[in-house]
Amino acid sequence: MPQYTPPIRDTRFVLDKVIGLDRYANLPGFQNATPDTVEAVLEQGGQFVAEVLFPLNQVGDQQGCTRHADGSVTTPDGFKEAYAQFVEAGWGTLSTPEEFGGQAMPHIISTAFQEYMISANMAFAMYFGLTHGAISSLLVKGSREQQAMYIPKMASGEWGGTMNLTEPQCGTDLGLIRTRAEPNADGSYSITGTKIFISSGDHDLTSNIIHLVLAKTPGAPESSKGISLFVVPKVIVNDDGSLGERNAVSCGSIEHKMGIHGNSTCVMNYDGAKGWLVGEEMKGLAAMFIMMNAARLGVGLQGLGVGETAYQNAVQYAGDRRQGRALTGPQEPGEKADTLFVHPDVRRMLMEAKAQTEGLRALCLWAALQVDLEHAAATEEERQLAADLIGLLTPVIKGVGTDIGYKVATDSQQVYGGHGYIAEWGMEQYVRDARIAMIYEGTNGVQAMDLVGRKLALNGGRAVQAFFKLVSEDIAAAKGDEQLNGFAESLEKGLGHLQGATMWLAANGFKNPNHVGAGAYPYMQLTGTVALGMMWLRMAKAAAEGLAAGAADAKFLEAKLVTARFYFERFLPDAGGLRRKIESGSDAVMALDPEMFRAA
């Protein structure tokens, strides 16, 4: 009963009018992203996910994955066939380098496609999403031999990939890892230990799964500095690339969880499994962080993807469902009731969802461009700026983006009234699926600490100053424009609060680091509010220019201007309150002894 249409028009608006892909046409990779190719990727990719993956979304939720007595794992009905189509069509190779059989398109294009795939079926998208993350680690830290052995088949989707970090006693604090890696005579290692919450840990979609596993070598220190990264294939790969022996790694059980039932979340047992070091010994955390940063952007995109589908359905329902009358009098007197669209509070929810998902889409695509520029920009200065910006905003996209996904899914469910709570309507699944994105790849609280505790101070605050400069320049440019001036002033106030809060943290955090921790979450929210504000100002500018030039899609562009106005009227007012929360410090937060939290 739910539906999904890829928002191609909006993606194109961001790529063509807001970001202006053509400005980057001379950069490596971008020559592969001609307007025609981009159009083809979005149209055909969108069609594939809407027709093949979306119909499996509810059945995946209902059936979940099954672990059989022999330890094998099967995915829900239809997943295997759909995955084969995914591989066949080459959708996994969009941004893979040509030397590994990929299409070498910019990251920004694969990101646009990835959003659609998540929207259609988040649990399904995770199978390749994890593979993609594993590839990114191997690309940077793997040896030439490892890259040649694993990447081509992973990129095509023929083999899967996973990240193995978490253990029962050890989540965020990776120093507590107990999995051991004993060196073998042949240069390989024997990996022994238990990993939990392993997304796509085992399944029937691929002939092999390449696990990247954090473990400790003998004598390694008991901290995160003692961690090494290993590649541990489910089936050992012979030197000629053929599949050899089954490795001693298996799925011990599948977790019963709130959502993303279509993805197999496994407890993985390593019983002396054969693995090979990736990069240097005891430098595993750095290698894993390459993967994690890519994954965090992907998780932010999950917030967008699930939110978008939920929003689309809420819009549909608001037009279908008739209940009550407009406050200003019946709008359709011939009908027994008006549609939900006449009710301002229903519209409030839809406009909030629209303003947040469209803003987040622009931010995610802009961030993906920074990833491209970090590698491909013409000058070192530009590369550094892009690296600074993406480093700063990765935790914001993950943290704020997934909070938005959950809020939008919840509000879209709310539009359905009682029907939203009933499984068959499909809305409650979006809420349950969206929920995990706030938790994994580092909880959103961990993202906030990454932003405030690490990224802010890095290189003397270079990244945050660059971000402020960027927003300020946008504001200054928009101020002379009659249509944009009000938006620019609103954003200027928000930026002022963010700058004030930044100064407060800089001045007080050194004295008491708990002030930094206590303000981290509202600071992340405030940064997100300003970052989305920057994107809305840019979108408003592009829309106004399009309208002035007599563009054909006037209604679409007018809606952009209205939504920009809504964003500045309804989200920017939070900025002052968020700043005051940050500047209230940590005294009340830290004052209670643990037992004083109990009121019972």
**Contact residue for a second copy among 21, 349, 364, 532 (CB under 8 A):** 349
**Contact residue for a second copy among 210, 268, 346, 396 (CB under 8 A):** 346
Beta carbon nearer to a second copy, 158 or 583 = 583
CB of 428 to a second copy, least distance (A): 4
Beta carbon nearer to a second copy, 34 or 44 = 44
Burial class of residue 431, CB neighbours in 10 A (0-12, 13-18, 19+): buried
Beta carbon nearer to a second copy, 38 or 318 = 318
Q: Which listed range, 18-26, 269-277, 465-473, 518-526, lies at the site for a second copy (CB under 8 A)? A: 518-526
Q: Which listed range, 86-94, 206-214, 384-392, 572-580, lies at the site for a second copy (CB under 8 A)? A: 572-580
CB of 585 to a second copy, least distance (A): 8
Q: Residue 19 is which amino acid?
A: I
β-strand pairing of 208-216 with 159-164: parallel
Q: Which listed range, 271-279, 292-300, 530-538, 583-591, lies at the site for a second copy (CB under 8 A)? A: 583-591
CB of 320 to a second copy, least distance (A): 10
Query: What is the distance between the alpha carbons of residues 168 and 195, in angstroms, rounded to a whole number?
Result: 7
Show contacts with a second copy in window 255-294 (CB under 8 A).
255-259
β-strand pairing of 159-164 with 180-183: unpaired
What is the per-residue burial (b if ≥16 Cβ within 10 Å, else e) of 467-476? bbeebeebbe
Query: What is the distance between the alpha carbons of residues 186 and 195, in angstroms, rounded to a whole number?
Result: 25
Q: Which listed range, 18-26, 122-130, 225-233, 558-566, lies at the site for a second copy (CB under 8 A)? A: 558-566
β-strand pairing of 66-67 with 73-74: antiparallel
Collapsing DSSP to helix, strand or coil, 228 comes out as: strand
Show contacts with a second copy in window 231-260 (CB under 8 A).
255-259
Query: What would the two tokens of residue 75 be?
Result: 């995915």
Per CB under 8 A, 565 contacts a second copy: yes
Residue span 13-42 as binding mask against a second copy, x where in contact by CB under 8 A, dash where not = ------------------------------
Per CB under 8 A, 48 contacts a second copy: no
Could you tell me if 191 and 214 are in contact, meaning their C-beta atoms sit under 8 angstroms apart?
A: no
Query: What is the distance between the alpha carbons of residues 415 and 418, in angstroms, rounded to a whole number?
Result: 9
Would you list the DSSP string of 309-334? HHHHHHHHHHHH-B-S--TTS-S-TT
CB of 578 to a second copy, least distance (A): 8
Size of the residue set binding a second copy (CB under 8 A): 112
Q: Which listed range, 86-94, 179-187, 475-483, 509-517, lies at the site for a second copy (CB under 8 A)? A: 509-517
**Contact residue for a second copy among 24, 487, 521, 536 (CB under 8 A):** 521
Beta carbon nearer to a second copy, 19 or 155 = 19
Per CB under 8 A, 335 contacts a second copy: no
CB of 3 to a second copy, least distance (A): 10
- Concerning whether 441 is annotated as a catalytic residue, the answer is yes
Phi then psi dihedrals of residue 149, to 5 deg: -70, -40
What is the per-residue burial (b if ≥16 Cβ within 10 Å, else e) of 24-50? beebebbebbeeeebeebbeebbebbb
Could you tell me if 566 and 355 are in contact, meaning their C-beta atoms sit under 8 angstroms apart?
A: yes
Could you tell me if 174 and 227 are in contact, meaning their C-beta atoms sit under 8 angstroms apart?
A: yes
Q: Which residue has the tokens 């249409």?
A: 5
One of 352, 358, 441, 492 is an active-site residue; which one? 441
Query: What is the distance between the alpha carbons of residues 264 and 449, in angstroms, rounded to a whole number?
Result: 29
Beta carbon nearer to a second copy, 175 or 272 = 175
Cα torsion angle, 465, 467, 470, 475, sign:
negative
Show contacts with a second copy in window 299-328 (CB under 8 A).
312, 315, 318-319, 322-324, 327-328
Beta carbon nearer to a second copy, 71 or 573 = 573
Per CB under 8 A, 7 contacts a second copy: yes
Query: What is the distance between the alpha carbons of residues 105 and 91, in angstroms, rounded to a whole number?
Result: 12
Show contacts with a second copy in window 406-445 (CB under 8 A).
406, 410, 413-414, 417-418, 420-424, 428, 431-432, 435-436, 438-440, 443-445
Show contacts with a second copy in window 356-375 (CB under 8 A).
358
Could you tell me if 476 and 484 are in contact, meaning their C-beta atoms sit under 8 angstroms apart?
A: no
Show contacts with a second copy in window 149-188 (CB under 8 A).
166, 170-173, 175-176
Q: Which listed range, 35-43, 101-109, 133-141, 448-456, lies at the site for a second copy (CB under 8 A)? A: 448-456
Per CB under 8 A, 221 contacts a second copy: no
Collapsing DSSP to helix, strand or coil, 232 comes out as: strand
Per CB under 8 A, 402 contacts a second copy: no
Per CB under 8 A, 551 contacts a second copy: no
Who's near 399: CB < 8 A, 6+ residues apart?
300, 438, 444, 447, 448, 451, 524, 528
Q: Which helix (H) or strand (E) holds 102?
A: none
CB of 207 to a second copy, least distance (A): 29
CB of 511 to a second copy, least distance (A): 11
Could you tell me if 78 and 271 are in contact, meaning their C-beta atoms sit under 8 angstroms apart?
A: no
**Contact residue for a second copy among 157, 517, 533, 546 (CB under 8 A):** 517
Q: Which listed range, 69-77, 78-86, 446-454, 532-540, lies at the site for a second copy (CB under 8 A)? A: 446-454
Who's near 449: CB < 8 A, 6+ residues apart?
517, 520
Could you tell me if 234 and 201 are in contact, meaning their C-beta atoms sit under 8 angstroms apart?
A: no
User: Which has the closest alpha carbon to 475: 540, 523, 524?
Assistant: 540
Residue span 452-491 as binding mask against a second copy, x where in contact by CB under 8 A, dash where not = -x--------------------------------------
**Contact residue for a second copy among 5, 143, 192, 465 (CB under 8 A):** 5
Name the residues annotated as catalytic: 441
